[in-house]
Structure formats: structure tokens, C-alpha cells
Amino acid sequence: MDSVGGSMGQFTSFRKDDFEADWTKVAEGRFTQVYQVKLKIWREKCALKSYDLAICPSKFYSMKPPVLHLNLKTSNILLDDHLHVKISDFGLIHWEEGMDTKVFMEDLTAYGNISYTPPETFSKNSDPPGTSFDVYSFGILIWEILTQQKPYAGCSVTTVLLQVSHGKRPNVDMIPEQRPQECNQMISVMKQCWDQEDRKRPPFSDTVKKTEALSDVLKIPGSATCLKVGGVDRQKPNYPWLVSPVDKLELPEMCDPPPGQKHEKENILSLLSKKDFGSFRESVKREHVHTQFSDKMSLLHCTVVSRDAESVEHVLNLGADVNCKTAGGYTPLIIAVLQRLHDIVSLLLERGADTNQTDDDQWTALHFAAQNGDNRAARLLLDKATAVDVQEKVGWTPLHLACQNGHETVARLLLSRQSEEPALGQREAQGRTPLHLAAAYGHMDIVKLLLSQGAKPNVADSSLSTPLHLSAEDGHNRVVRQLLKSGAAVDAANGKGLTSLHLAALRGHTGICRQLLSNQADPELRTTQGWTPMHLAALRGHEATVIQLESQGASVNARGQDGWTPLHLACHQSHAAVAAALLAAKADPDASEDSKGWTPLHVAASSSCFSSVLHLIKCGANVNAANSERATPLHVAARHGSAAVVKALLLNEADRSLRDSSGSTALTVAKESEKLEIVKLLEN
């Protein structure tokens, strides 16, 4: 088994006896078995995948020729606790020389991969799959990410095969129109990846360069901005188009008609899809108005989706219910607002559409207008006495949504229509006010607007976080400055004892740390676990922040939980540059933590961080310091098997004859740990 991630930072090979004996099988595939196992050294449970090499020969793992995944889809893309991507299920689908194309297609179909399969695979005379196969699949994945929907939903395998073979792809129009400029570059990459000709698809190396250039813009926000909206756990990113609050409704272009549907009804929908509105109005009859299509869509819903106001009016004149709902509770008015069809919004309102009707998550049309930043639709709705302060399922008002997504014009409009006592202090389920959201997402103009209208800068949410906490954590320097100017309490602590300075230090926002300290933030305040901002900056490896904190009075020798200093933490995380900066600022190289008496040199030896060991030795660290069990750094290095660290310690007068509390020398430890290279070093 090979593993990547965690604190290892490189591939590590494991043997069977590295795991405890009780393996529990949790899944089995065609070529693999997945077990739950426990790694002895870390006492942590892991998932281990075992391959049947009789079926998947060893040459499958060779990089020449390159490894093909052939099974790249959303269900095989996993995220760890740090949101790092892990690709799973290599080898479930494979191609062998001389393999029958029909058998290969059967495998793809069996695993539900047809939507991700390039068109050349469907050809009778197709070549063996190459890297362009996975590139095509990646293009489909980009579309899924940008739309948050499944490709070709509701289509049969035959329909997908035929349409994709003729150049059809998932509907690009389903990507919301309101999006940052950088998104257009992603769309361009997506289209190149799913090009009809495989030779025109870019290699992954080119795609990586382009997408990495956008990573600072299209990034997933931190935990402070993971919000629950509409009753469902949704990560609300800085750009609302990344996660739509509802699925976008549209007339199906590639899907098979619902079973049992009469030809006449099929023809009506077909005319709408073709935008042959004149023929549609001539064909539709009163009895069609109450027909219910898939997802409980009425003919009026379908006509609104078609975007033709004259056809909508015609269907209304035939007696359609203006307030009918789909399976998700969407009214024709909500759909019109979602798609920014202002003439149809006006028409529906004139015909008595109820502006306060909600979908299944209790979102009104005004919620959607605020989410989309649609000032015109919001004004049309408010002119019809729409409730301004209405809260959806988990307490979000339209003002919350406008403030979160940076729609200042809509926010101003909503505030102007509030009652005498504006709902600036209204809270959603997590206790956050509109000011919390504007601060968390760095919308400076909205922050100033809300403060000018009387919003309180020190109001705390259910986790005791203030707007200053949220803006400091996410690095919004100008917002931090404005909140401080407006009287935000600089040393207020959240439920975990974290001040704004703790959060800025943890995230490496050096400028914000400087600003907070200049406003008399206390650098020695402790979290509930006893950590100072200096500890947290050292833990995360933020060298510039460590230097800034020290220059403004923060102690480099503060003791946190179990007596650990910032230097202990830097060595534990192998942040050698931070360790060097702390030592240059007179951090004590021989400080021993409380529980086991480990010095920073013990910790650096345990982490096999050669650079940190050298920095510590250079600054006079005691190479023979003994912990509470009388083990020296040499004992620790021998246990962990770092030859470079052992050599450095020996060259600097580490005593190999010293024994720990069990009577073992470093050589004994190396032998028991089967570190043969270390054994040779110590014997010589």
C-alpha cells in the first residue's frame, strides 16, 4: 500500500505487518477489495484498497505508457478534511491490447460512465483509449462543478450515445449568466477538453497551468464562510453562481419524452423547445393548460422557461393557474425571477401572481432576486407589497442574501423599503446578521452602508464570532480597518477563545495582524487551549506573520497547552524557516514541554526535519537533553529512522552510550525498530 498526505509529505510504503490483524472488508469491486484497517504506528483507522494482480497485472502501475483512469467522474473524486482532492477507483475499468470494443463499452455502461465517455469510443473503428479519454471526462466534470447538476439528466444511454456522437454536449447555457470574468476562462478550458476531435484536446499539463493561475480567484472559502442556506448544508462561495440556490429549470433538449406521453403533448413541448412560438400558440388548447409534465411542471412553467412573453400571456388567457407549483415548490413567478425575465415577471404580477409564495425551502421570489443581484426584479416585487423581512427555512432574509453576495444596489433598495425599525439585526440560524455576511465576504461598500444605517459592529453570532472575527480570518484588510474605525472590540473572543488576532495569525494575514496590534490588540491572549497568536502562526508556518508579531511585542517563548512553545510547534510541523525566525528572535532552544519533557530538538528529531535540527544545533541546543523518560534526541531520531538527523547529532557530540529509562541506548532502539541504516551508523 502506498499513501500520500498527512504529515508525511511524500509516498510511504507499508507492509502488511504495519497494520493490526483485524481487517474488516467494507466493499468489493471487480478487481479490488476495500478494507478498514488500523495503522499500528499512528493508531489511526484507514481505508486500504487491495488489487488482484492476477486480473490487474503489475504493468498497470507503470507510468510508461501513462496510467489511464477511464473512470473519471464526480463519484470517484474525494475530498479530505483539508479539501485536498483524492482520485479513487483506478483500475475498475481497463483496456487491454486486442480487447473487444463491445466489451469495453459494456464495462463503461455498467459503471455508469457513458456521460463521461468521449465520442470516438462509440466508433466501430476506434483506436485504443489514450490520455485524451480522461481529458474529455475532465471537461464534463468542469461543467458539473459550474452548474451543480448532472450531465444529460433523464436521458437514456442510447440518447446520450447518439447526441454526443453528433457533437452535442451538456448545455452551456445552464451556467449562470452572472459570473466573474475568470469563469469564462474555465468555460474555455472545458470546451477544449471535450472537443469532438481527440487530438485537439489539451494535455493535462497545459490545463493544470491554466487552472492554477485561477486558483486565487476561484477558491473555496474557509470554514468561517460555510453557511447553511435554504435548509440544506451548502458551501456559499464568494461568487453566488458557483452554487445556485435551486436547480435551474429548462426545457429538455436531449432527454427522452416521459413514458406514456401522447404525441400531441409531445408536439407542444417540441414546439416550445424549437422556439416555434407561433405554431405553439396555434396548437395549444384549453385542455392542455392543466397537463402536468415531469417534476410536476405545468404548461405555464414550461412556457415561462421558453422566455416568450406572448406565449405566456396566451397560456394565461386559456385559464392557467398563475400560482401553480413544481415538485420543488417553484411558481412561474420564481422561475421568471431566476431567469431575469422582467417582462414576464411584470405580466405574471399583473395577472395576480402571489409574491409571497415560497418554494419548499421557504424562499420567496424576492429571496431569489436578492441572491442574483437583480435590482429590477426586486423593485417590481417590492412595488407589489412583497414582504421585505420574510425569513426562509433557516432564517435568511433577502437582505442577508444581498449582503453575502455583494449586491449593494439591491441592499440599498431593501433597506429603503424596511419598516421604521430596519431589520439590520435579524439573524439566520447561525445567529449571523447581514453585517456578519458582508464582513465575511469582504464587501466593503455594503459594510459601510450597513454601519451607516445603524448596524452594530460588536454583535456576536451563535459561535460568539463578531464581524471583525470573520473579516480578519478571511483577510479583508479594508473591512477590518472600517470595523475598527466604527468601534469594533479588538480583543473580543469567540466561543473557542480566539480573538481576531488569533484568526489573522492562523491564516497568515500579516497586514491585518499589524493593523490589529496597532489598535492595541493584546498579543498574549490565550485560546481555550492556551495558544497565543504566535503559537498559531508558528503552527501554520507563516514566517512573515511570526516576524511581524515579534516586532510588535509578541513573546516567542510563550507556553501553551502542555507547556509547548511556538518553537516546539514549528519543529513539530517541520517549518524550518519559522524555527529559524523564532531562534533569531531569541526563542529558547532548550525549553522543555510539561508532559514528557521534550525539547524542540526532540520534536525536530521526531519529525525528521533535518533543517530544523541544524538551526537548533547552531543556536546551542543541548544535543544530549533528556526527556522525562531519559530519552535523548538521538534516541528519538533512531526510532524514526532519519539517517541525516542521526549523522548531524553524532557530528555535534551526541552521546550514543546514554540509556533511556528502560536501559536502551539509541542503537538498541534502532535495532528494535528495524532501522538498519541507523544501526550501521551507530555501530560505526
Q: What is the pLDDT of residues 510-526, one digit of tens each?
A: 999 999 999 999 999 99
How far, in Å, CA of 433 to CA of 452, rounded? Answer: 15
Report whether 469 contacts 494 (CB < 8 A).
yes
Is 289:315 a contact under the CB 8 Å cutoff?
Answer: yes
CA 371, 442, 182: angle at the middle one, nearest 5? 70
CA distances from 376 to 338, 353, 379 (A): 12, 17, 5
Predicted confidence (pLDDT) per residue in 553-589, tens digit: 999 999 998 899 999 999 999 999 999 999 999 999 9
What is the average pLDDT across 211-238?
36
Query: Which are the contacts of 452, defined by CB distance < 8 A and separation ≥ 6?
Result: none
Number of domains in the chain: 2
When pLDDT is cut at 50, 70 and 90, the band that residue 43 belongs to is: low
668 within a domain of the structure (yes/no): yes
Is residue 168 in some structural domain? no
pLDDT of amino acid 308: 93
Q: Which of the listed residues 54, 69, 93 is the one where a domain comes to its end?
A: 54
Report the pLDDT averaged over residues 154-159.
76
Do the domain assignments include residue 344? no
Q: DSSP characters for 157-191?
A: HHHHHHHHHTT--S-GGGS-S---HHHHHHHHHHH
Q: Is the pLDDT assigned to residue 246 strictly greater than 70?
A: no
Flag whether 670 is in a domain. Answer: yes
Q: What does the alpha-carbon distance between residue 361 and residue 247 come to, in Å, rounded to a whole number?
A: 13
Is cis: bond before 203, omega within 30 of 0? no
DSSP annotation of 341 reads -
Q: How many CB atoms lie within 10 A of CB 148?
A: 17
Mean pLDDT score across all residues of the chain: 81
| Phi and psi at residue 427, to the nearest 5° | -115, 145
For the chain, the straight-line distance linking the first and the last C-alpha, in angstroms and rounded, comes to: 33
pLDDT of res. 369: 94
Q: What is the DSSP letter of 42?
A: T
Helices (H), 576-655: 576-584, 600-606, 610-618, 633-640, 643-651
**pLDDT tens column, 108-147:** 665 557 788 888 877 655 667 778 888 998 999 888 888 8
The C-alpha cell of 639 is what? 526510532
Buried-state track 521-552, b at ≥16 Cβ within 10 A, e below 16: bbbebbbeeebbbbbbbbbbbbbebbbbbbee
What is the pLDDT at residue 38? Answer: 78
User: Domain boundary at 31, 54, 77, which?
Assistant: 54
Residues facing residue 13 across a β-bridge: 2
Answer yes or no: is 208 within a domain.
no
Query: Residue 258 pLDDT > 60, yes or no?
Result: no
CA atoms within 13 A on the CB side of 367: 25
Residue 5 has pLDDT above 80, yes or no: no
Assigned C-alpha cell, 511: 497586514
Half-sphere exposure of 633 (CA within 13 A, CB side): 37
pLDDT tens string 380-434:
999 998 889 899 988 999 999 999 999 999 999 999 987 655 567 888 888 999 9
Confidence of residue 31 (pLDDT cuts 50, 70, 90): low
Looking at residue 684, which CATH number applies to its domain?
1.25.40.20
Overall average pLDDT of the 302-326 stretch: 94
Domain that holds residue 646: 589-684
Rounded to 5 degrees, φ, ψ at 142 are -60, -45
pLDDT of 642: 86
104 in a structural domain: no
**600: in domain:** yes
- 289 or 481, which is more confident: 481
